[in-house]
Amino acid sequence: MTTDRTTRDPRAGDLHPGLPSAAPRPGAAAWLALTVAEAKMVARDTAGLVVPLGMPVLILVMNGLAPGLDQVIPGTGGRTALDVYVIPLTLTLVVAMVGVVNMPSFLAYYRRSGILSRLGVTPASPALVLGAQALVGVAQILLGIALALGVASVWLGASAPARLGAAVGVLALTIAAMYAVGLLVAAVAPTPGSAVAIGLTAFFAQGALGGMFGPRQNLPDALETLGGRLPFGAAVDGLSAAWAGGAVPGQSLVALGACTVVAGAAAGAWFRWE
């Protein structure tokens, strides 16, 4: 025991020479590498592409075949019920499904399998991992929506939104809000199974109140008001207004923005590596 080299220790509190003085944060290169890695993971898992790419087309076609949708809504520049009601609902449904249900279950699987705990002992921060995931997910959503709108305009005679800029803006805000909710679900869910359960609950609750199963006007007043202030209902209202050419309700924008900020901050604070 005389060779014990720690006998000259005890000043363990001192910093070692040659340590970087500032804490270097992994930069753009790391973020890009992680995003490319996530994209490869998704692209090489073909089954995972069915929901974001196939579902929007399916929902739009199923809804678009209902009778009476070719009825022109007055004061919208010749847009039909399909344009003003079905398309906004479908787009919101897709974003909510991928953002609130799909993405958190993927992240929860990462956590369960140890991928996140491994990343947690590297300089990669939670924000880096979440950001890469979100970006790849958004790319899938946009691809899915583009495909759905393409099919709708060719076969169902759908029109472009009357206010294109407003539609793009509301869609972007919707994606941000739904992803924030999804990240919060991933942050608090203890297991992959519970991530799906919590995600589906959040999805159906706001969907039911937001007009997914029928007009929101049929709900009791209090629930109708609440539904319009949850991201799902707010997104449908906003997109519908943009397609019809009206002013996007300020209340929808506030609801989506507030949801993004609050849920996003909570997700960042509560995120765990394992």
Partner 1 sequence: MTALVAQHLRKTYRRRGRPPVVALDDVSVSVAPGEVVGLLGRNGAGKSTTVQLLAGARAPDSGRVRVLGLDPRADRRRVRGVLGVQLQGATLHGALTVRELVRLYRSFYRRGLDPDRLVERVGLGEARDTRFEQLSGGQQQRVSVALALVGEPRAVVLDELTSGLDPEARRSMWALVEDLRADGVTVLLVSHHMEEVERLCDRVTILDAGRVVATGTVPGLVERAGLRPTVTLRTDDPAAAGVLARLPVVGQVDARGPRLVVTGSAGPAGTGPDELLREVGSALARVGVVATETHLRRPGLDDAFLALTGSSSTLEAP
Q: Are the CB atoms for 69 and 80 separated by under 8 Å?
A: yes
The residue (of 91 and 116) whose beta carbon lies closer to partner 1 is: 116
The residue (of 6 and 217) whose beta carbon lies closer to partner 1 is: 6
Minimum distance from CB of 175 to partner 1 (Å)? 24
Minimum distance from CB of 188 to partner 1 (Å)? 16
Minimum distance from CB of 196 to partner 1 (Å)? 19
Q: Are the CB atoms for 243 and 88 separated by under 8 Å?
A: yes
The residue (of 18 and 215) whose beta carbon lies closer to partner 1 is: 18
Minimum distance from CB of 46 to partner 1 (Å)? 11
Q: How far apart are CA 140 and CA 52, in angstroms?
A: 6
195 contacts: CB under 8 Å, gap ≥ 6:
104, 105, 107, 108, 185, 186, 189
Footprint on this chain of partner 1 (rule: CB under 8 A):
1, 3-6, 8-9, 11-16, 18-20, 23-26, 29-30, 32-34, 37, 40-41, 44-45, 113-115, 117-118, 120-125, 273-274
Sign of CA dihedral 37, 129, 57, 80: negative
The residue (of 2 and 217) whose beta carbon lies closer to partner 1 is: 2
The residue to which tokens 């995600």 are assigned: 199
Q: How far apart are CA 45 and CA 35, in angstroms?
A: 15
DSSP annotation of 100 reads I
The residue (of 46 and 217) whose beta carbon lies closer to partner 1 is: 46
Minimum distance from CB of 40 to partner 1 (Å)? 6
Which neighbouring-strand residues pair with 138? none
Helix axes 192-209, 221-229, angle to 10 degrees: 120
Nearest to 51 by CA among 104, 101, 113, 107: 101
Minimum distance from CB of 261 to partner 1 (Å)? 25
The residue (of 54 and 114) whose beta carbon lies closer to partner 1 is: 114
The residue to which tokens 């991201």 are assigned: 231
Q: Are the CB atoms for 133 and 180 separated by under 8 Å?
A: no
